[in-house]
Structure 1
Amino acid sequence: MTGATRLLRREARGDLPLLVCLAVLVAVLAGLGAAGPVALAGREDSALRDRLATAVHAGPLLSVTTVQGAFDDPVLQARAHPVLSQTGPGGALVAGTATVPDGSSVRVDRTVVTFPLLKVALPQITVNRISSTALTPHHISDAAAHLRYVSGGPPDDRAPAGTAPGIAISEAAAKLTGLTVGRRITAVEIPVLGVVNTTHFTVSGIFRPIHPDDDFWRDQPTLDQPQSFPDGTRAGGFNASIQGLVGAAAAATMKDDSITLPTITWELGLTLGHDTVRQSAGVLSALQAFPTDLTASLCGSSDSMGREQCEMGDDKVSAYQVGDRFTPLLSAFTAEDEQTRELASYAVASLLAVGLVTVLVAVRLLLRRRAGHLALQRSRGASTAGLVLLRSASTTPVVLAAGALGWLLGLRLAPAGTSGSPQPLIALLGTGAAALMVPLLTWQAVREPAAVRDPRRIRRRRGRRTVLELTALLLAGAGTVALRARGSGGGNGVDVQLSLVPVLFAMAAVLVLVRVYPLLLRLLAAQAGRGGGVVAFVGLRRAGQDAPATGLALFVLVITLGTAVFGGLVTRSVADGAAVGAAWSAGGDASVLQSGNVAAKPVPETAGSPVRATVAEQRRGVRLVGDTNGATYPGVALVTVDIGRLAAAEPGSPLVRALSALDRDPPVRTGAFDERIPVLADASFYAQESQETLTAVVDAAVTGTRQLHVKPTGVLDTAALTDPALGPITGGLPPGTRVLVASSAADRVLPNQLTGATALLVYARPGADPEAAAASAADALGPLASVRVRATRLAELRDDGLARLVSSSYAVCTLLAALFGLLAVALELVLTARERSRTSSYLRTLGLGGRSAAWLQIVQLLPLAVAAAVGGGLVGVLEPQVLGPALSIRQFTGGPGDPALRADYRTTLLLGLCLALLVLGAAAVESTVARARRLGAVLRLGEV
């Protein structure tokens, strides 16, 4: 036992430097398996938290609404309305039925009680030519924190029963209506039963927002800003709509028979743990069951008419209605997150491939250094199995210990509380590969050393190599064909096929290079020989002979550079696609959006205004029926665009070129019932219906259903359909919605719809701030309109956590692969240094100078550097074309289609040049060290 231990120590001591190198490699791979997935999941958690925080600005992610019911129960109707006093306990009861997993919670952020629309009696208010005023009272639980009173004070929450409850209105509403503090308001309401009910309020205070731009006022814009609409009379009067705040006891102080019961909405907030992505899956499942659980917990009884009743404390209420914005947000994020993992999986697979090849090179060098010792032991009668066990016994414990240490360190360094978990498969792959390579390569080296020069063995070895190369090429080709036929993986997370095919493609490229570039080197060497260049001739010939031996180094360099180029391509394509997506979202430099079809107010476009031009667009939903063939097309979006203003604002727009076809046909022909609207349609619809006139059925907001005729007269090609000018008005349509485009001249015969949409594209003057241009046009469609600024949207897309995660994944993996690659190249140079040194020794003995010998070292490695730079650059540039439809980045750009993948040739050239210089630098260092140690000055003893 002592002798065996001493032998193992001697074996390990002789291999100590390379054993340390191998141990570090295995430890790094194991540590990456422990810490990498956890850190990646932490970035995903952060991205989802940012999405949730942004979405909350647009309104509550979850809400529950109900109305006090049992209208036919005289006992309940005779009671005072305690519903407002139950809003707090009722909200807690509602939130408690959402059985979210541990670590997350649902809470009540805001309670909103909305009373029915009331009409303020005339002629009490006659200012500002107001014909009538509509009043909507609210009680909002957290309103007091977001406003201050400029006159009077808040309504009393404890006003005695039978008195007129107080109501507070905004400063803008008071200015419009002329109401002042202390003014008594008489309001009437016509409920469903047809009985005219009357109630009274007293203006208790007038307020203004503390911060008009905070989330509260974005959610409640009409509480501050009243709305006014022309009444359609010749006198030019207006109908005003204002809102007010009442106290918590308002319902109890109103007479029971004077007002319909209010609607109560609880806005619920969702809190997820640090492992946001993991928690969200459970929350999503709970929310899908939330409406059913809520009804099962709080509902069940029926009134005398058979309607289901629910409970809120001691009250009977109508069915609970759940508004859920969290589910679609999470579904969209999940799809993007899975696509992120698909893209990142290629970078991870490339890193693992480079790491394993580096381990292989280290093991080869380890065995090469012991080749003489193994041959001596073999000649003394040592068995193959014994030598394999001896080599394994000295390396396996080191590899296993390094793998375990790397795993523990990775667990220690991994961030805590993320949705990810360590992946032992990566650690086992690196550790197992290193542990198995030593016995396998040892067995190959010592099994039949005497038969190396046997021609039959050589032919068999060459045949096996050819079969292996053809197999690799066949796998790469078959994988590529299968991947292109399959298309995108649909965002299902780590895509093994998408990860492995590029690696196989890089391997195929290396195999082709190893076979092809030695032939070119022989031609160049022959040319150099005829020219009398000894250094060039010998160096090129030697490089051609060493090409198969440097295949692993070439593979490492090619796949590392290919991954870097491909990562730069993806990063640039995502950035360019984000610019397209931002333009699609905003239309122009900015856009103003409003639900419903409304007329836009004029926007100043004078020399001092930041606005250069504005273009109005309208969208209506129509149903089409062919007048002759009877074909029906429900759910068609009819968009009208101001052609002249769009042509002046964007002359090169593809939509403008398409709209020019409408000029060849009269925009609208009117008759008793013969309004005919020329429209543009997509190619398939135009091919079907270009000879047909269709009846368009339009549901109007006030006048009921209206019928007109439309006639497809031109084609909307792909460029026109994806023109940014259509983005704001069509971007929110469900996928597959058919879009028709007409001139804005059709607006005079098309009725307005509440379900339609209006967009005003805003173009800023050169040098003007787009934010200022957007602010100038913000009120053009009314106070409820939303504003989109292209620059702001672009910043949001580029700052998105998942988009940054894709870029950082490729950056980190490329950096680590480059470090592995440097080590592999250095080890490969050491592995082949003996042959280069022997060549230099021969030539130095024959009289070659020291400077020429140094250049010879560089010339021998120059083809490897050039082949790696060219091969890696081509692999990175061609991979998007090879992968084809399997590679998609649409989720990160927000545009109308999948953006084109654009290679960054400047970065590719720079990376290739850096790689070539790196290899040449290594050759220069090797040459300098050899000259300093005079390793190639003369032949060694025994060399001939």
Structure 2
Amino acid sequence: MRIPLGVRTHAGTVALLAVLTAVACLLVSGLPRTMQASYDEALRRSLAGADVTAADLTVTGAPAQQPGELHSRAEFAYAARRWRALVPAALRPLTGPGGHISAKTFRTPADGKGPIREFVNLGWLSDAGRRVDWVRGRAPGAPTTMRYAGGTIPVIEVGVVEEAESRMGLRVGETRLLGESVHTAVRIVGVFRAKDPADRAWGHDADVLHVTHAVPADGPEELHTTTLMADAGLAALADPTRNLTYRWVFPLDPRAANALSAPGVPAAVAEFRRQVDVQGTGLISYRLATGLPQLVTAFLTALAAAQTVLYLVLGGLFAVALGVIALAARLLTDRMERTLALARARGAALGQVVAPGTALTALTTGPAALAGYALAYLLPGPAPPIVHIGPLAVVVVTVAFAGTRVALAHRTPLRERRGDLAAVRPSARRVTVEALVVVLALAGAYLLRARGVSGTAQQDPYLLVIPVALTLAAALITLRCHPYPLRLLVRLAARGRAAVPFLGLARAARQRATGALPVLILLPALSLSVFAAVIHDGITATQQVASWQKVGAPIKLTAAGLTPETIQRVRTAPGVERVAPAMTGRAQITGTGEQPYVVAVDLAQWRRVNEGAPISLPALSGGTSGGTSALVSPALGPRGTFDLTWLSPVRLNAEGVIDAVPGFYSSGQFLLVPWEVLPWHAADTLLIKGDISPAELARLVPSATIETQEAALRAIQADPLTGTVRTTMAVVTVALGAYALAAIVLSLVAGAEGRARTVSLLRTLGLSDRQARRLTLLELLPVVVITAPVGVALGMGLPAALGPGVDVSVFAGGLPVADHTPGLLTPVALAAGLALCAVAGAYAHTAMTRRRELDAALRVGTD
């Protein structure tokens, strides 16, 4: 058989196989690329949004003795080069070329007689010239000296931030003495402000930019500020009693992070920390301060959950795609069967028969796989190994399947067989293999529920294929069990007077062997598509609940000391429908000394505010003889009546335990009390329902912080990992549904020739077009009618069956998704689509066979 002739003869089938191969390779190569790109983007956003003191690498030094101190910019720069040289190779791409150095004193008291104790710390920033503007006075210069208490002390020129000028009364030209026993003086020569207050570098130097107010438990109020001095001021920091610290900050560059190298970051940080520790001496000690390992570990935990879910559905998609391609390859080998059988009968060796069938399949799938692989590079993202392995696996499996099928079909010349007889009893070996698949699938599901999946980026391949194994097991059980109800229907139809039901069901029963592959494809495709739809719907619904739990109301306004006039102004604003006031604070339980957080709220108004929301609010029965009712958190534990000191002493009766107060607290020690417990009407939170913009509320209450449920929902959905999971679920649902329809169509096409002969023969006996359509429909529907309910039921039950192995709470605001009942729209639509496809195929097949010459069916030896 010549290959070009075979391509021309079977052009339609070859084109179908090529299209299916190209689409499968595009999916198996393209989806992992986009997924990996989203993983990288999620890591970069996570690191960029983290606090700089946690994300950056900061080497701190604390001189223990005066010889360990550094007194010039050159010494600091030399140390910075030394630290950068010690950074492990795995961390170097993450540390950008920038960074800065600082030297600061802390808790440096200044002279003063007022009731508030003031601390004026000395600070030096290596890049102060780039980060601040001098708005009054001038930049500091070299230190001078002055006489004090019979001796000479250094006078360091410094600048202060505008906030220190206003809150602490520090003025340009003023000289302040520092230290308990005075050793240094500072002269304020200028006032500065930040050029860019939003610069992330200020996260390390917030003490320079702002005045800190502290209220110690055993002392007067304190105000702290850190001044700025020139390079020359470093030489004057020679007081051995001064608390001094150095910092070399190596900023993290989130743009250089990628998920593939993230697992090695914690170990690299640990190595860098060890290198820093050994550099310390008796004169100065060094340590590394960073929260980067914790940030990366938290990301890897979320990544593991995302990869688990996505690999589950993508593995199923790959298996179903291979099955549909195998069905198309079977169709191609069936079309070549007569030609190959003739060649085998004329003396061709088995290899000479297998080679053309295999070569035609390889020449069809090879270029198509290459085309799909090339198209995948149009999608953004790096290429993990599966991108290259997937298309090769598709070609190898398809060619091997085609070659094996041709070899089995033509292993003996002129092998006659009847295609309309019921299949023979399966061999013991086949039954054993099928039973082993079922047992392994059930055992894997049990293990997945018992231990879940690994919390790292490395997944357990056995557990990741459990959903596919469960669907395959269900398909095998369906294949073994569906002949029994079908035979019963055939017997019932045989008792009737109409011939069409009996003929249609009898043909369906006799074609059980040829219908095995469509069932093995259709059921996994349908169940996994329903599984993906259920997970997608569950995530979407839970995100709604999580956003309501986070805010507690459509709009939450928080501001200190809301007056009755302000509350009334908000209540009467255009667009505001209802307002529920609340007061929060920290109280103390008399007797135990515990200091829980307290929420006092008008629960009746709050319920009206949240009317129709997907969350329920706790209920309080009101006052009792033992005191006012309250609900306590699990951390406080069940208790009876107790005394609480808050705005005023009050006796409370613990009515029950609540896990969270929506919009306020979800962990730790807290309790909920009714609004009536307040000694006067005070509020710091307003829970609002209405159509009013946050900007308008900010205008009414300028000092308020405003949160909305819609903004919280957008923030949850904006996470790249969450978006990837939801998008991939939607794509996989559509793709698996399309493959299920393709399986139906291919099964129609595969049996079209034999079905056409039967219908044509029966039409010569008086079969009408309407009866022909019913006959075809009865032959096709058993596969759909039996497989579709099983697939839908299995897909809807997979999330519960897999249990904690599929934990997608990280994509739903931290709430568990398993408690939500899945919607029936998508599963019913998929099942109905398959049924409609079967009906449409029956009508199309009848229309095509109508053109067949009726006398051709009566000719001897014609097909």
TM-score by length of 2: 0.80
Q: What is the rounded CA distance, in whole Å, between the counterparts of 2:831 and 2:698 in structure 1? A: 45
Q: Which residue of 2 aligns with 1:608?
A: 569
In 2 relative to 1, CA 246–540 (structure 1 residues): closer, same or farther, beyond 3 Å? same
Q: Is the 1:45–1:275 Cα contact (8 Å) retained in structure 2?
A: yes
Aligned CA RMSD, in angstroms, stands at: 5.0
Q: What is the rounded CA distance, in whole Å, between the counterparts of 2:568 and 2:520 in structure 1? A: 62
State yes or no: 1:724 paired with 2:662: yes
* C-alpha distance after superposition, 1:847-872 (max 9, x if no partner): 33335534544454344444454333
Q: What is the rounded CA distance, in whole Å, between the counterparts of 2:60 and 2:805 in structure 1? A: 44
Q: What is the rounded CA distance, in whole Å, between the counterparts of 2:82 and 2:555 in structure 1? A: 44
State yes or no: 1:51 paired with 2:46: yes
Q: What is the rounded CA distance, in whole Å, between the counterparts of 2:98 and 2:419 in structure 1? A: 84
Q: What is the rounded CA distance, in whole Å, between the counterparts of 1:341 and 1:434 in structure 2? A: 27
Where do residues 12-31 of structure 1 align in structure 2 (5 Å cutoff)?
A: 14=9, 17-19=12-14, 21-22=16-17, 25=20
State yes or no: 1:186 paired with 2:176: yes
Q: What is the rounded CA distance, in whole Å, between the counterparts of 2:498 and 2:72 in structure 1? A: 100
* C-alpha distance after superposition, 1:144-164 (max 9, x if no partner): 656555x41453244656674
Q: Which residue of 1 aligns with 2:812?
A: 893
Q: What is the rounded CA distance, in whole Å, between the counterparts of 1:529 and 1:460 in structure 2? A: 24
Q: 3-state DSSP class of the match of 1:90?
A: helix
* C-alpha distance after superposition, 1:792-838 (max 9, x if no partner): 44323211111222223333444444454444433321211123213
Where do residues 727-738 of structure 1 align in structure 2 (5 Å cutoff)?
A: 727=665, 730=668
State yes or no: 1:442 paired with 2:406: yes
Q: What is the rounded CA distance, in whole Å, between the counterparts of 1:475 and 1:679 in structure 2? A: 48
Q: Is the 1:590–1:788 Cα contact (8 Å) retained in structure 2?
A: yes
Q: Which residue of 1 aligns with 2:165?
A: 174
Q: 3-state DSSP class of the match of 2:385?
A: coil
Q: Is the 1:392–1:438 Cα contact (8 Å) retained in structure 2?
A: no
Q: Which residue of 1 aligns with 2:474?
A: 509
Q: Is the 1:587–1:726 Cα contact (8 Å) retained in structure 2?
A: yes
In 2 relative to 1, CA 248–534 (structure 1 residues): closer, same or farther, beyond 3 Å? farther
Q: What is the rounded CA distance, in whole Å, between the counterparts of 1:500 and 1:570 in structure 2? A: 17
Give the one of 350, 358, 367 matched to 2:333.
Answer: 367
Q: Is the 2:25–2:394 Cα contact (8 Å) retained in structure 1?
A: yes
Alpha-carbon deviation of 1:330?
0.5
Q: What is the rounded CA distance, in whole Å, between the counterparts of 2:207 and 2:588 in structure 1? A: 25
Q: 3-state DSSP class of the match of 1:549?
A: coil
Alpha-carbon deviation of 1:329?
0.8
Q: Which residue of 1 aligns with 2:832?
A: 913
In 2 relative to 1, CA 897–684 (structure 1 residues): closer, same or farther, beyond 3 Å? farther
* C-alpha distance after superposition, 1:224-278 (max 9, x if no partner): 5545578999xxx994625254133363475744972532223321236767123
Alpha-carbon deviation of 1:777?
8.2
In 2 relative to 1, CA 255–327 (structure 1 residues): closer, same or farther, beyond 3 Å? closer
Give the unaligned 5+ runs of structure 1: 1-5, 301-307, 310-317, 594-598, 625-635, 669-677, 697-709, 731-738, 749-758, 781-785
Q: Which residue of 1 aligns with 2:859?
A: 941
Give the one of 141, 147, 155 matched to 2:139.
Answer: 155
Q: Between 452-461 and 877-886, report the one with greater CA deviation.
A: 452-461
Letter in 1 for 2:796: V
State yes or no: 1:766 paired with 2:690: yes
Alpha-carbon deviation of 1:930?
3.1
Q: Which residue of 1 aligns with 2:266?
A: 284
Letter in 1 for 2:245: T
Q: Is the 2:107–2:121 Cα contact (8 Å) retained in structure 1?
A: yes
Q: Which residue of 2 aligns with 1:299?
A: 280
Q: What is the rounded CA distance, in whole Å, between the counterparts of 1:230 and 1:775 in structure 2? A: 32
In 2 relative to 1, CA 907–450 (structure 1 residues): closer, same or farther, beyond 3 Å? closer
Q: 3-state DSSP class of the match of 1:278?
A: coil
Q: What is the rounded CA distance, in whole Å, between the counterparts of 1:137 and 1:156 in structure 2? A: 12
Q: What is the rounded CA distance, in whole Å, between the counterparts of 1:229 and 1:502 in structure 2? A: 57
Q: 3-state DSSP class of the match of 2:569?
A: coil
Q: 3-state DSSP class of the match of 1:320?
A: strand
Alpha-carbon deviation of 1:548?
4.8
State yes or no: 1:100 paired with 2:38: no
Give the one of 534, 538, 559 matched to 1:569.
Answer: 534
Alpha-carbon deviation of 1:906?
1.8
In 2 relative to 1, CA 251–212 (structure 1 residues): closer, same or farther, beyond 3 Å? closer
* C-alpha distance after superposition, 1:468-497 (max 9, x if no partner): 654544444343334333434445544433
Q: Which residue of 2 aligns with 1:783?
A: none
Q: 3-state DSSP class of the match of 1:276?
A: coil
* C-alpha distance after superposition, 1:622-677 (max 9, x if no partner): 998xxxxxxxxxxx9853323455676469987844x7699665589xxxxxxxxx
In 2 relative to 1, CA 771–88 (structure 1 residues): closer, same or farther, beyond 3 Å? farther
Q: 3-state DSSP class of the match of 1:724?
A: coil
Q: Between 456-465 and 393-402, report the one with greater CA deviation.
A: 456-465
Q: Which residue of 1 aligns with 2:353?
A: 390
Q: 3-state DSSP class of the match of 2:71?
A: coil
Alpha-carbon deviation of 1:328?
0.7
* C-alpha distance after superposition, 1:501-543 (max 9, x if no partner): 2223223433454456566566667778888766566545544
Q: What is the rounded CA distance, in whole Å, between the counterparts of 2:753 and 2:693 in structure 1? A: 67
Q: What is the rounded CA distance, in whole Å, between the counterparts of 1:153 and 1:927 in structure 2? A: 95
In 2 relative to 1, CA 56–392 (structure 1 residues): closer, same or farther, beyond 3 Å? farther
In 2 relative to 1, CA 530–883 (structure 1 residues): closer, same or farther, beyond 3 Å? same
Q: 3-state DSSP class of the match of 2:248?
A: strand
State yes or no: 1:114 paired with 2:118: no
Give the one of 530, 553, 578 matched to 2:543.
Answer: 578
Letter in 2 for 1:277: A
Alpha-carbon deviation of 1:107?
4.2
State yes or no: 1:871 paired with 2:790: yes
* C-alpha distance after superposition, 1:315-349 (max 9, x if no partner): xxx32232212111110111211221111112122
Q: What is the rounded CA distance, in whole Å, between the counterparts of 1:523 and 1:390 in structure 2? A: 42
In 2 relative to 1, CA 144–928 (structure 1 residues): closer, same or farther, beyond 3 Å? farther
Q: What is the rounded CA distance, in whole Å, between the counterparts of 2:588 and 2:129 in structure 1? A: 39
The share of aligned pairs that are identical, in percent, is 22
Q: What is the rounded CA distance, in whole Å, between the counterparts of 2:247 and 2:166 in structure 1? A: 29
TM-score by length of 1: 0.74
Letter in 1 for 2:103: V
Q: What is the rounded CA distance, in whole Å, between the counterparts of 2:441 and 2:848 in structure 1? A: 41
In 2 relative to 1, CA 230–90 (structure 1 residues): closer, same or farther, beyond 3 Å? closer
Give the one of 449, 457, 474 matched to 1:484.
Answer: 449
Give the unaligned 5+ runs of structure 2: 147-153, 572-578, 645-650
Number of equivalences: 830
* C-alpha distance after superposition, 1:184-241 (max 9, x if no partner): 0424323xxxx3445232251254x5665664666666655545578999xxx99462
Q: Which residue of 1 aligns with 2:149?
A: none
Q: Is the 1:276–1:419 Cα contact (8 Å) retained in structure 2?
A: no
Alpha-carbon deviation of 1:292?
1.3
Letter in 2 for 1:294: V
Q: Which residue of 2 aligns with 1:421?
A: 385
* C-alpha distance after superposition, 1:329-375 (max 9, x if no partner): 11011121122111111212212221222233223223322444455
State yes or no: 1:241 paired with 2:223: yes
Q: Which residue of 1 aligns with 2:310?
A: 344
Q: What is the rounded CA distance, in whole Å, between the counterparts of 1:263 and 1:842 in structure 2? A: 98
Q: 3-state DSSP class of the match of 2:58?
A: strand
In 2 relative to 1, CA 19–655 (structure 1 residues): closer, same or farther, beyond 3 Å? closer
Q: What is the rounded CA distance, in whole Å, between the counterparts of 1:30 and 1:157 in structure 2? A: 68
* C-alpha distance after superposition, 1:877-902 (max 9, x if no partner): 11112222322112323426565354
Letter in 1 for 2:165: A
Q: 3-state DSSP class of the match of 2:252?
A: strand
Q: What is the rounded CA distance, in whole Å, between the counterparts of 2:467 and 2:839 in structure 1? A: 27
Q: What is the rounded CA distance, in whole Å, between the counterparts of 1:817 and 1:422 in structure 2? A: 19
Letter in 2 for 1:763: L
Alpha-carbon deviation of 1:408?
8.3
Letter in 1 for 2:597: T
In 2 relative to 1, CA 213–454 (structure 1 residues): closer, same or farther, beyond 3 Å? closer
Q: What is the rounded CA distance, in whole Å, between the counterparts of 1:591 and 1:218 in structure 2? A: 28
